[in-house]
Each structure stands twice: as structure tokens, then as C-alpha cells.
Amino acid sequence: MKLLNDKKQFKKVLALFDQHGINNILKLSNFTITQVLKACAHMGDLQRGKIIHNLIASKTKNDIYISSTLIHLYVHCADIVSAQSLFDSIKNKTPAMYGIMMKGNDSFKH
């Protein structure tokens, strides 16, 4: 999936996920989940991203990569409220998370 994302073939990433991953989402690696969420962000598919977030809620609590990618998804799709809510719920925030939130807040002040 990373290769497809790198080639900007986001629809193919999501189709592959729909075909193989949605029913086995909890068995997927965290890396694979971040790739699917990145594709959602690039496609502006907030609804699918939220569905995935709900399905993997237990995984997001301890994984900074999934959490960062979800924050990016919400910011990219202009859902600052969800991004802020997730950001606020994270105990050990990374500099990348702060950066995503600052860019998002700056983008929507104008």
C-alpha cells in the first residue's frame, strides 16, 4: 500500500483495503492502517476515515503513528473539532502532532 500511496494511487489503496482489510482490520499491522488513513486524507474521504477510526479505537491509544495520521486526516479534511479532540486525548504528544495541529489551526484562521 505504501508504494501505491507513494505513486499517488489513493483509490487503489482504498479499493485494496475494501477488498481485503475492512473485515480483518484488527489483524492489520499499524503500518498498513496508517497507509489506508493517509489515502483517506489525500482523497478527502473523511467519512471512511472516521469509520476506520471507530473500528480501530483500541489501537489508537498507544500508537503515535496512527494517532498522528488520524490527526492529519481530520485536519486535512477540515474537521478541526475532531482533530483537536483526538489531540487533547493523547497523553504523550509528539512534536509532529503539535506541528499538524498548528498548521491546521493556521489554515482555518483565515
Tens of pLDDT along 29-67? 899 999 999 999 999 999 999 999 998 887 777 899 999
pLDDT at 1: 87
Residue 108 has pLDDT above 80, yes or no: no
Average pLDDT over residues 80-107: 91
Write out the three cell numbers for 60.
489508537
Residue 109 has pLDDT above 60, yes or no: no
In whole angstroms, give the CA distance from residue 6 to residue 106: 27
Ordered by start, the domain boundaries in the chain are 2-107
Residue 19 has pLDDT above 70, yes or no: yes
43 phi, psi to nearest 5 deg = -85, -10
